[in-house]
Amino acid sequence: MQGDRDRTGPAADASSRGDEGDSIATRIALRREQLGMSREEVAVRAGMSTAYLRQVEELATGFDPGALRRLAAVLDMPYEELTTGRRDAPHGRGGPTAHPVLMRLSEQECWQRLGTHGIGRIARTTDTAGGAPLVMPVNFLVDARSVVYRTDPAGAAAVRAGTQVAFEADHVDEATGLGWSVLVTGTAEHPADPDALEALSRRHGSTPWAGGRRDLWIRVLPHKVSGRVIRPLEER
């Protein structure tokens, strides 16, 4: 449609934000491929010419808000997601920093990075499917050089005492492309001292984000603590 090709608007400004790997053009093309729809099929359903849709996908120009709203409907995605990207997208979409350097963290630095509490991931092997690995998010506390979390006794994160597990937490700065990760491997323990558990439950960050009853406390007793950090070259 000639009108679609000539008009511009706020969506045109939105398309210029971000890098080439995350633009309106790439979001349209990727979503179309995910749905298994041809360019011609999408164009017909959105009431525009195939030539205009090709211009949008290949040349990244000529964005019109009305046309984009029709495209969003055909592609079954929110208009805001199409124009500005997902707000809940995984970390690391900003791209790496210039001249990054990957360096190891000492054990002391690892504990400093973990701080007092946060969100991390617990990894374990399962008893089914040939012992396939399972990774689950948990909100954790750091307690005397160990990691503790609480979970549903019948939940996936409820590992048996004595089980070998791994815990990982990380941080990515989207603006700078810098970040760190810490890995704690060790053995799961079920602390049972009532006074100690009561003290843990009163700490900031102990309330489970997933809600519900999470009466089982699990402590990861470290065998090895390691970490890495991405820094710019000039900080070496």
Q: For 145-189, how does the pLDDT look when each residue is reduced to its tens digit (9 = 90+)?
A: 999 999 999 888 999 999 999 999 999 988 888 999 999 999 999
pLDDT at residue 35 in the model: 92
Q: For 179-212, how does the pLDDT look when each residue is reduced to its tens digit (9 = 90+)?
A: 999 999 999 999 999 999 999 999 999 988 888 8
Separation between Cα atoms, residue 193 and residue 201, nearest integer Å: 12
3 state SS for the chain: CHHHHHCCCHHHHHHCCCCCCCCHHHHHHHHHHHHCCCHHHHHHHHCCCHHHHHHHHHHCCCCCHHHHHHHHHHCCCCHHHHHHCCCCCCCCCCCCCCCEEEEEECHHHHHHHHCCEEEEEEEEECCCCCCCEEEEEEEEEECCCCEEEEECCCCCCCCCCCCEEEEEEEEEECCCCEEEEEEEEEEEECCCCHHHHHHHHHCCCCCCCCCCCCCEEEEEEEEEEEEEEEEEHHHC
pLDDT at residue 220 in the model: 97
Write out the two tokens for 44: 């017909």
pLDDT at residue 7 in the model: 34
Domains of the chain: 2-84 (1.10.260.40), 100-235 (2.30.110.10)
Which stretches of the chain drop beneath a pLDDT of 50? 1-20, 236
pTM score, two decimals?
0.69
pLDDT at residue 170 in the model: 96
pLDDT at residue 208 in the model: 86
